[in-house]
Structure 1
Amino acid sequence: MKKIPPVSFIFLFFLIFSLSLNASIKSRIQIDSLKSYSSDTLKNLSKTYRYSDVKKAKVYAEELFNRGKNNNNLSDLAWGYHQLGLINNVLGNYRKSIEQYNKGISISKSIHDSLLLIDLYLVKGTSYLFQKEYEKVLPNYDSALKVSKKLKNLPYIIISNDNIAYLKKEVGLFHEALEIEKENLKLARNLVFDNETTLANLILNLGETYLMLEENDSAIYYSKKALGESLLVDNIEGTSYIYKNLGLAYYNKEDYDRSIHNLEEAIAIIKPFGNQQLLSELHYYKGRSLYQLQMLDDAIASLKASKNILIQKDADHESSIILMDTYKLLAEVYKSNNNYKESGDYFEKYVALDQERDESRIKVIGDLHQNNLQDKDSTIATLASEQKDQEKKYSTFLIIAAVSFVIILSLLINFIRKSKKNKLAFQNLISSIENDKKTNPNPIKIDDAKAKTILNRLENLEHKEFFLDSNFSLATVAKKVKTNPTYLSKTINAHKHMKFQDYANELRINYAINRLREDKKFRSYSVQHIAKEIGYKSPNSFTKHFKNKTGIYPSFFISSLKAYN
């Protein structure tokens, strides 16, 4: 091995030293230059670079925070927490952002900075919203609205109401949210907001509500308007969500090429920021559209990109739902690609994660119940220690005990009545199934040749169980039976005596009843899994239609079947 001459070591040392010195000087210049900036300048710079260069934004936010801490300037310190919290939101670190917002709220109250306090309540509530901790969202939004009304600050009243509307959408109150957002947009037209992205975000939220209501044309119209506003003010984060919403709207309209184009735009925008949650969703939605176009290899690549992001993240509520959907879709894609081994592996992962989430929900309910009991015990102990009049306490106790007894007794009676009613409904349902097996339906006489052809094709789709596909809609079925949606709807009304949606529900619920009756393994699945298996996009929709059809809930039917067999 050749030895390095001593002079080379000396040269190498001076080279490293000079590079280190140069880096140190550059760092010192940067720090010294930051000190010349005012606090307002640091805030604006952090805001400017939050989406385009998050590392640079963090440097400005930390300088503001450190300046407040070192100089005991509570205003700078509170704003420092605010800016660092927003940066963590962009990065998807919602827990960290909530910690910083709480500290900012405490300081804002002490220095009576009401506008900053409103802003902190709003962004804290939104962080909880992203975490799906709904019970913690509304108190923060309500606090922001109360302070805004106290100040009679119309822009912040609009923003607070818009956040409340967003929460309503999350829990399914879409029409209520829509009314709030329409009114907000009217009021906002003639206002100037401190945050130039606010108007764009108001239009974005309205478009998203139309998307949730499956009014796709309106969703696209308002999303494009929001896109125009966002591009004018360089609202990068908002732009990524707009492209996402456009991708979903075009997917619903079965325009899969446009869906993929918009989702790719969103991926390109959000990728540099490191928001892994949103990035995983975008890859999943892109994979879903590619699958519809039967671009199976590309679909697998996109879905695996989503999966790889999610398994590296901390498993939270929303991540587990997307991961579960990703596993299920991967199983379907591999099956279409005739790779049954991979399909089976991913389906097993999907079922395992579904069961794990069910167990987790049961544990959470148990923990909540236990915490509730502990809170009640603590409250009773506190009241007892403060109560001086023992006789009055005893009387109060007797009254509470009597009222509790009456309530419990009435609940018990109601439970027994419902139990009897459910058992009777179950017996009637079982009898109906047995009778249907014994009797053959009379064939329908149809004179109209065109209608007869359509109904024959429809019957063929029923035999193929196409109704189990989540895309079983009036438009897709019309294409399959080679007619237009209007004529198909009229034909079903005339010959099956029901609307198309009722027809779809009838097929799905009958299928579920019979399969649950005959397939023990199917009974072991969760209600959510069964709902997806038979084409419903949400377990609530399945449960509602099952109850309407049978008079009992699916969970009761399943448990009764186990006992019956």
Structure 2
Amino acid sequence: MSNNLLKLLFLLTTAIFISAQKKNDFDQACERTSAIMAYKDLPKAIKTADSLYLAAHKPSEKVKSLMLSSELYHHGGDLKKAIYYSENAHSLIEQTDNTEWMSRVCRLLARQYRQVGLYERAKKYIIKGLQASRKISGFQESNEVEGLLNQEMAFYEMEAGNYMNAIQYVEFSLKNFEKINSQNEDRTEAASYQLLGDIYFKLNDYDVSENYYRKAEDLLRAGSCTLGLVYNGLGGIRVKQKNWKDAELYLKKAEKIADTSRSLKLKKAVYSNINDYYEGIGDNFKASLYAVKYVRAYDSIAARNQEFSVKSKEVSGKMSNNGQMNMAKNSAIIILFVSLVGLIIFFRTRQKRQLSKLRTIIRTQGNIANENRIPLLRQPLNSEFSNISVEEIDEKDSETDRKRNDSLMTSETEAKLLELLEEFEKGNLYNNKGMSLSFLAGELNTNTKYLSYVINQHKSADFKTYINRLRINYIVDKLINDEKYRQYKISILADECGFSSHSKFAAVFKAVTDFSPSAYIKHLDAENQSDKNVYFRENNKQ
């Protein structure tokens, strides 16, 4: 008989006769199932967890077995079932006064809802968990759970773009972890440092960002998902610094972990940075390959979240098949039903909002010409595509240079250059594939520093973002006003407005408009014919 089978029989025996054993034996069975069998035979681990639930007598033991099942499904990538078990555990723990396990269940639910994109629901559980954690009598347990919940709140604030708040919550979590002595302390502390590295990266403070990534790296074991995010962050910094040799080194390490990981978030982040790396060194073929990988990872996340929102009945049979019938079942089903109805309403509302946004873009452009100044189409601050550049155009100036230029350039020169840019926007020179800061400066008979300054000050964008918004505006204008463009292949549209690849154009089009090119064209065709003759002022040729 194999060792694995012996272990399984031992665990099943432990579950069946649990009533005659101590609580520590039950906990030990849960831990063994989680730590050993999940990685060797996940289906058997799930069956063992179900058996543990059957053998449990105390509410706390039932909660632990439900959380074990949730973690196992989570490990297997089935977040829908994972949340189902977590919600069952939450419904049970509410019938007790066990603040420690209430905190742990809330933290698990907060993490799972965050990973399916339901941030406000995640925040609700974070707040509830924090309130419970402060009532835990054990000093170490209280700080451990509170630290994890502060970490979750930092993720929430980061997703909302509140970086200073996110930093504050990460610092809270680190203070909590300093007070405890746990075998998981290094891993949880490393996750906080990695999160700080991400935040400072977004704030463009690369020295501080790298310092935190290094702290996380020192605490992590090889192959962990968090270490993959650390290597990806270090690679991203090197890409920004145009240190291509070191960037390749770190991104290869990150890719090795990402390719063997179940984490779509890690895959998406790594493929995005590798795409930027190949764009930076001018390898358009490989850049296109990773753009496709990135879009696939992004679409997989969207599909997983959508699947979670629309399927409501698949899991309910599992509990009955494995005998998990108890006094909490009815209330758990009610909670699940209400949750799923809420999710369906949420996604349908969001879909309607997106369609409304598209119609607004199409129907209101005719009124834009009457306004004095019109902003370019903007990429949302918290867009999933915030780490993607459309075309890598060398144009970086430091803040010091910009301030110095401000003092050297006369107001007349600035006004003249702004006037020339307005004329530039009315043409289509920005679609030139050779477009660069130096090229445009030559066309406008000025220098790159003056041009960069005026674009940053008056167009609220750096040079590459400015050019790429013009390109997207141009092609959207063509799609709206000329039906033949809707019949073109995406690769032709990409070439028309100066993009180097089909995949890059598709990714950025979605980043700017919230729709893929094909979805955008489909919605345009569905619009009333009276809405066709609209245009973007910036591309209006007079």
TM above 0.5? yes
The answer to whether the aligner puts 1:251 opposite 2:251 as a matched pair is no
Evaluate the alpha carbon distance shift between residue 517 and residue 297 of structure 1 in structure 2; reply closer, same or farther with a 3 A threshold: closer
Residue 95 of structure 1: which of 80, 83, 107 is its match?
Answer: 80
Contact 1:68 1:75 survives alignment (8 Å): no
* Structure-2 change in CA distance of 1:187 and 1:32 (3 Å): closer
What SS does structure 1 have at the residue aligned with 2:534? helix
User: Distance between the aligned counterparts of 1:367 and 1:101, measured in 2?
Assistant: 30
Q: Distance in 2 between matches of 1:534 and 1:105?
A: 39
Number of aligned residue pairs: 398
The answer (yes or no) to whether the contact 2:481–2:532 under 8 Å persists in 1 is no
- Residue 303 of structure 2 is aligned with which of 295, 315, 328? 315
The answer to whether the 8 Å contact 1:129/1:137 transfers is: yes
* Distance in 2 separating the partners of 1:311 and 1:507: 26
Of 171, 175, 179, the residue aligned with 2:160 is 171
1:162 matches 2:151: yes
Q: Decide which of 219, 223, 227 is 1:239's aligned counterpart.
A: 227
CA contact (8 A) 1:280 1:306 kept: yes
Equivalent-residue separation in structure 2 for 1:425 and 1:150 (angstroms): 56
Q: Evaluate the alpha carbon distance shift between residue 135 and residue 204 of structure 1 in structure 2; reply closer, same or farther with a 3 A threshold.
A: same
Q: Of 256, 261, 270, which residue of structure 1 is paired with 2:249?
A: 261
- Superposition map of 1:394-473 within 5 A: 426-429=369-372
Change (3 A) 1:540 1:256: farther
- Matched residue SS, 1:218: helix
Q: Which runs of 5+ in 1 are unaligned?
A: 1-21, 320-359, 370-420, 432-445, 542-557
Task: Give CA deviations for 1:138-194 in whole Å, capped at 9, x if unaligned.
Answer: 111111111112337344333222211211111222222123323443454344357
- Say whether residues 1:205 and 2:195 are aligned partners: yes
Q: Secondary structure at the match of 1:38?
A: helix
Q: Name the counterpart of 2:211.
A: 221
Amino acid at match of 1:266: A
| CA deviation string 1:19-41 (max 9, x = no partner) | xxx57x97356413664692232
**Of the candidates 276, 281, 288, which is equivalent to residue 293 of structure 1?**
281
**Inter-partner Cα distance in structure 2 for 1:296 and 1:257:** 18
Change (3 A) 1:292 1:229: same
Structure with more relative contact order (C-alpha pairs < 8 Å, separation 6 or more): 2
Q: Which amino acid aligns with 2:203?
A: L
Which amino acid in structure 1 is aligned with residue 100 of structure 2? L
Q: Distance in 1 between matches of 2:228 and 2:117?
A: 21
- Report deviation, 1:226: 0.6
The alignment partner of 1:156 has SS state of helix
Q: Structure 2 vs 1, CA of residues 464 and 236 (structure 1 numbering), >3 Å: closer, same or farther?
A: same
Task: Report the alpha carbon displacement of residue 488 of structure 1 after superposing the two structures with TM.
Answer: 5.2
| CA gap 1:521/1:54 in 2 versus in 1, 3 angstroms | farther
Aligned equivalents of 1:304 and 1:513: distance in 2? 23
Q: Which amino acid aligns with 1:102?
A: E
Distance 1:467 1:91, change over 3 A: farther
Q: In structure 2, what residue type is equivalent to 1:98?
A: I
2:64 corresponds to: 79
- Contact 1:138/1:164, CA 8 A, preserved across alignment: yes
Q: CA deviation at 1:202?
A: 1.4
Structure-1 residue corresponding to 2:386: none
Please state how far the C-alpha of 1:299 moved relative to its aligned partner: 4.3
Partners of 1:213 and 1:256 in 2: how far apart?
21
Distance 2:97 2:299 in 1: 44
Say what the alpha-carbon RMSD is for the aligned residues: 5.4
Over 3 Å counting, the alpha-carbon distance change for 1:220 and 1:497 in structure 2 is: closer
- Answer yes or no: is the 8 Å Cα contact 1:256–1:293 preserved in 2: yes
8 A Cα contact 1:468 1:533, kept in partner: no
2: distance between equivalents of 1:43 and 1:229? 26
Change beyond 3 A, Cα 1:67–1:172: same
Check whether the contact 1:468–1:535 (CA below 8 A) recurs between aligned residues: no
Amino acid at match of 1:244: N
On the 8 A contact 1:42/1:60 being kept in 2, the answer is no
Match of 2:5 among 9, 27, 32: 27
Equivalence for 2:27: 40
Cα 1:490/1:47, change in 2 over 3 Å: farther
Once the two structures are TM-superposed, the CA of residue 88 in structure 1 deviates from its matched residue by 2.7
For residue 243 of structure 2, what is the amino acid of its counterpart? D
CA distance in 2, matches of 1:198, 1:497: 40
Shift of 1:225: 0.8
- 1:131 matched to 2:116? The reply is yes
1:290 positional shift: 3.0
Cα separation, partners in 2 of 1:535 and 1:54, compared to 1, 3 Å:
closer
Distance 1:256 1:228 in 2: 24
Deviation at 1:132, TM superposition (A): 1.0
Q: Distance in 2 between matches of 1:563 and 1:540?
A: 14
Structure 1 residue 242, shift from structure 2 partner: 2.0
Q: TM-score, normalised by structure 2?
A: 0.57
Residue aligning to 2:400: none
Give distance in 1, aligned partners of 2:279 and 2:305.
26
Amino acid in the other structure paired with 1:157: E
Distance verdict in 2 for CA 1:498–1:108, change over 3 Å: closer
Q: Deviations over 1:264-315 (max 9, x none)?
A: 3234335445445643553454344234334455445555556677778882
The reply on whether 1:561 has 2:534 as its aligned counterpart is: yes
Counterpart CA distance in 1 for 2:173 and 2:243 is: 31
User: Residue type matched to 1:561 in 2?
Assistant: V
| Deviation of 1:423 (Å) | 8.7
Write the distance in 1 (CA, Å) between the matches of 2:456 and 2:9: 77
Q: Counterpart of 1:144 in 2: which secondary structure?
A: helix
Match of 1:149 in 2: 134
Distance 1:119 1:251, change over 3 A: farther
**More displaced stretch, 292-301 vs 105-114:** 292-301
Report the TM-score when normalising by structure 1.
0.55
Q: Is the 8 A contact 1:118 1:144 kept in 2?
A: yes
Letter in 1 for 2:117: K
Q: 1:99 to 1:272 in 2, by over 3 A?
A: same
C-alpha separation in 1, matches of 2:451 and 2:536 = 42
Q: Supply the distance in 2 between the matched residues of 1:42 and 1:168 (Cα, whole angstroms).
A: 37
- Rg bigger for which structure? 1
- The answer for unaligned runs of 5 or more in structure 2 is 15-23, 308-344, 355-363, 375-407, 487-493, 498-503, 515-530
In structure 1, the partner of 2:101 is: 116
Q: Evaluate the alpha carbon distance shift between residue 33 and residue 174 of structure 1 in structure 2; reply closer, same or farther with a 3 A threshold.
A: closer
Q: Hey, what's the Cα distance between the residues in 1 that align with 2:205 and 2:509?
A: 18
1:162 & 1:261 partners in 2: Cα distance? 29
Write the distance in 2 (CA, Å) between the matches of 1:175 and 1:107. Answer: 36
- How far does the alpha carbon of each residue in 1:25-74 deviate from its partner, in whole angstroms, 9 at most, with x for none? 97356413664692232333345458xx6235764564344123134344
Residue by residue over 1:332-366, the C-alpha shift from the partner in whole angstroms, topping out at 9 and shown as x without a partner, is xxxxxxxxxxxxxxxxxxxxxxxxxxxx9995347
Tell me if structure 2 keeps the 8 A contact 1:244–1:266.
Answer: yes
